[in-house]
A and B are shown apart, each in its own frame.
Chain A
Amino acid sequence: MKKLKVAILGSGNIGTDLLVKAQRSPYLECTMFIGRKLASPGMAKANSLGVRISDQSIEAITNNPDCCDLVFDATSAVDHLRHAPILEQLGKLVIDLTPAKVGQICVPAVNLTSCLQYTNVNMVTCGGQASTPLAFAIGKTQQNIDYIEVISSIASRSAGPATRANLDEYISTTESAIRNFSGCRRAKAILNLNPAQPCINMQTTVFAKVENPDLEKLNPVLQEVISTVQKYVPGYQLIVPPTIENGRIVLMVRVLGVGDYLPSYAGNLDIINCAAIAMAEEYAKNNN
């Protein structure tokens, strides 16, 4: 089994956590860990794992195109808009963890194999990864879905300056994924930050307004989609099974993180990374 050579662009917390996951994967090998700040903790971690590091940003790849076949971009939306065409020209597979939305939306539990035909996929948002599989199940089993609403609560400590400065982008990106995969007419995404100590785990609630809600039809499809998610996110758990409350379908999931580099309460960051790794592994398996 030949491992797929991956580079990670972005040496912050997300990139570093991805690094740990990539090194653990039997299908992936991280050949370059790239950022702009040599002095960051992520760089030190990569170095300690014996992974080649660079502070040259995208130039590390353009100067050495054979170093990798797939690139995880965990920089920023603005930076990814610049990186995407360069990486496309170099013929690299790209998994975009920013809200840039240049490529195909990828939610592994829902459209993993169909994403293989694309060379740039984006991983939506944390709330999007948690809720889209559920919205998909609703979309598959219910009639006339008027409206789906997704509320995520995350620990304050797991939301860094980048998240806080980009709430509006989070909301619109999550909403478009929900609409896309459920076929609903309207979607709304809400994000709550809670500073409680000890830190709360990520929790996502989905409300749906549908014609003649049918929970019997929903439950088996929901169970199936949840099991699929659990294959790459073991800490994904249904905590309130579907019920009808106040004229709407409601269900809730909790995401406990694996705790690789990020703490386990940061399930929101973990789920998007696990999804990214799942997609990369699929590319790797497909190559062989």
Chain B
Amino acid sequence: MLSERAYDFGLKAPHLVNRRDITLLTKDIAGVIDLPAEITMIIHAAGSPDNRLHASDPLKVMRTITMGTEALLSSASRLPNLSKILNISSGLIYGSRNTDSREFNSCGQESFSFNNAYIEAKRYAETLCSVYGNQYKLNIINIRPYAFVGPYQLVDRPWAINNFIGDYLNDCPIRILGDGETVRSYMYPSDMSLWILKLLADGHAGQSYNLGNPTPITLKSLAEKIASAMHKKLPVQVKYYQDHSLRNSRFVPDVSKAHNELGLKVTVEIDEALEHTLLWNLSQYNSVKN
């Protein structure tokens, strides 16, 4: 595992870093020059999806993604035993959900835009991967992840599901902003990990795969599920304003490619995913309180 902050990861997960079959390399991804020659496969997941960081330090985010991907690919191209690279991109690159298509270019995304720093950097990284793949004959598989819920995911990131979980942990009413008809989907980490490893092993080089749960759920249904999880009976408050239906977006992947080519399926559906997540968060929450 290579990370600039390998030490902090070690503090978070000592049971992993103390394993003899795991080696930690402390390095800034953008400064990678030489990688150990025995490496055969790489999962390139450096970068933060925390949209607060994208707002407060977009330069850092862009540099990590663009310079980091470049440095990694350059080093990887000189590895004697390398067979596969998996690039973790983002489902967001398909475009913003509230665009006026007359305003933006055909990719549906305005590039001269501070708030699109993360998405544009990810798209550049995808192109870079494709170029390296072609020029250096590297086998690169491109993954576009959607949304996830599970243990270890920081609940303070201001996404709807985290807000609901936060309200649940605080025993507050579950508050939905908007009419609740926004549609999302959530994949559990065990499915995510299995899919990633399977795609790494058997995915086709030069192809992009969406990674996520194809089963949609409205925020209203999600809130209701969380509000009544594990014998709690919290009220659900919908705070909606007129014309908000125009704001409703959909972020749900089409995963037919992963399914058809590799037989990948979702095994943990939302109810089970929520139960595991809430239990894990409760145990963290209680240990913090004590």
- Are B56 and A39 in touch, CB under 8 angstroms? no
Tell me whether A165 is interfacial, beta carbon within 8 Å: yes
Please indicate the chain A residues that have their CB under 8 angstroms from the CB of B27 in the complex: 55
- Are A161 and B67 in touch, CB under 8 angstroms? no
Please indicate the chain A residues that have their CB under 8 angstroms from the CB of B50 in the complex: none
Bound form: Cα–Cα A161–B63 in Å: 15
- Are B60 and A39 in touch, CB under 8 angstroms? no
- Are A39 and B57 in touch, CB under 8 angstroms? no
- Are B56 and A37 in touch, CB under 8 angstroms? no
Known: A39-B67, A39-B71. A161 touches B56 (CB 8 A): yes
Top-10 shortest CB links A-B: A38-B31, A39-B30, A161-B57, A37-B28, A39-B31, A55-B31, A36-B28, A161-B56, A39-B67, A36-B4
Bound form: Cα–Cα A228–B171 in Å: 58
Bound form: Cα–Cα A110–B71 in Å: 48
The smallest beta-carbon distance between A283 and chain B, in angstroms, is: 29
Q: How many residues of B contact A (CB 8 A)?
A: 14
Q: Which residue of B lies closest to A165 (CB)?
A: B56
Q: How many residues of A contact B (CB 8 A)?
A: 12
Q: Quick one: CB contact mask for B124-166 with A, threshold 8 Å, 1 for yes?
A: 0000000000000000000000000000000000000000000
- Are B57 and A37 in touch, CB under 8 angstroms? no
Contact of B28 among A39, A59, A161 (CB under 8 A): A39
Bound form: Cα–Cα A263–B7 in Å: 34
Tell me whether A164 is interfacial, beta carbon within 8 Å: yes
Known: A36-B4, A39-B67, A39-B71. A164 touches B56 (CB 8 A): yes
Most buried by B among A38, A39, A161: A39
Q: Quick one: CB contact mask for B54-82 with A, threshold 8 Å, 1 for yes?
A: 00110010010001000100000000000
The smallest beta-carbon distance between B108 and chain A, in angstroms, is: 29
Q: Quick one: CB contact mask for A23-56 with B, threshold 8 Å, 1 for yes?
A: 0000000000000111100000000000000011
Contact of B30 among A37, A164, A165 (CB under 8 A): A37
Please indicate the chain B residues that have their CB under 8 angstroms from the CB of A164 in the complex: 56
Please indicate the chain B residues that have their CB under 8 angstroms from the CB of A38 in the complex: 28, 30-31, 33
Please indicate the chain B residues that have their CB under 8 angstroms from the CB of A37 in the complex: 4, 28, 30-31
Bound form: Cα–Cα A5–B35 in Å: 33
The smallest beta-carbon distance between A41 and chain B, in angstroms, is: 11
Q: Quick one: CB contact mask for A46-88 with B, threshold 8 Å, 1 for yes?
A: 0000000001110100000000000000000000001000000
Q: Which residue of A lies closest to B31 (CB)?
A: A38
Q: Which residue of A lies closest to B5 (CB)?
A: A36
Bound form: Cα–Cα A164–B27 in Å: 26
B residues apposed to A, CB below 8 Å: 4, 7, 26-28, 30-31, 33, 56-57, 60, 63, 67, 71
Please indicate the chain B residues that have their CB under 8 angstroms from the CB of A56 in the complex: 26
Please indicate the chain A residues that have their CB under 8 angstroms from the CB of B7 in the complex: 82
Bound form: Cα–Cα A82–B30 in Å: 24
Bound form: Cα–Cα A82–B11 in Å: 13
Q: Which residue of B lies closest to A39 (CB)?
A: B30
Q: Which residue of A lies closest to B60 (CB)?
A: A161
Please indicate the chain B residues that have their CB under 8 angstroms from the CB of A55 in the complex: 27-28, 31
The smallest beta-carbon distance between B71 and chain A, in angstroms, is: 7
17 residue pairs bridging A and B, Cβ less than 8 Å apart: A36-B4, A36-B28, A36-B31, A37-B4, A37-B30, A37-B31, A38-B28, A38-B30, A39-B30, A39-B31, A39-B71, A55-B28, A55-B31, A56-B26, A161-B57, A161-B60, A164-B56
The smallest beta-carbon distance between B89 and chain A, in angstroms, is: 21
Q: Which residue of B lies closest to A78 (CB)?
A: B8
Please indicate the chain B residues that have their CB under 8 angstroms from the CB of A161 in the complex: 56-57, 60
Q: Which residue of A lies closest to B71 (CB)?
A: A39
Q: A37-B28, A38-B28, A39-B28 given; name 12 further pairs at CB < 8 Å.
A: A36-B4, A36-B28, A37-B4, A38-B33, A39-B30, A39-B63, A39-B67, A55-B27, A59-B26, A82-B7, A161-B57, A164-B56
Q: Which residue of A lies closest to B58 (CB)?
A: A161
Please indicate the chain A residues that have their CB under 8 angstroms from the CB of B30 in the complex: 37-39
The smallest beta-carbon distance between B139 and chain A, in angstroms, is: 26
Please indicate the chain B residues that have their CB under 8 angstroms from the CB of A59 in the complex: 26
Bound form: Cα–Cα A38–B57 in Å: 19
The smallest beta-carbon distance between A39 and chain B, in angstroms, is: 4
Bound form: Cα–Cα A36–B32 in Å: 11
Q: Which residue of B lies closest to A57 (CB)?
A: B26
Please indicate the chain A residues that have their CB under 8 angstroms from the CB of B33 in the complex: 38
Q: Which residue of A lies closest to B33 (CB)?
A: A38
Bound form: Cα–Cα A56–B71 in Å: 17
The smallest beta-carbon distance between A161 and chain B, in angstroms, is: 4
The smallest beta-carbon distance between A215 and chain B, in angstroms, is: 44
Most buried by B among A55, A57, A82: A55
The smallest beta-carbon distance between A16 and chain B, in angstroms, is: 16
The smallest beta-carbon distance between B25 and chain A, in angstroms, is: 12
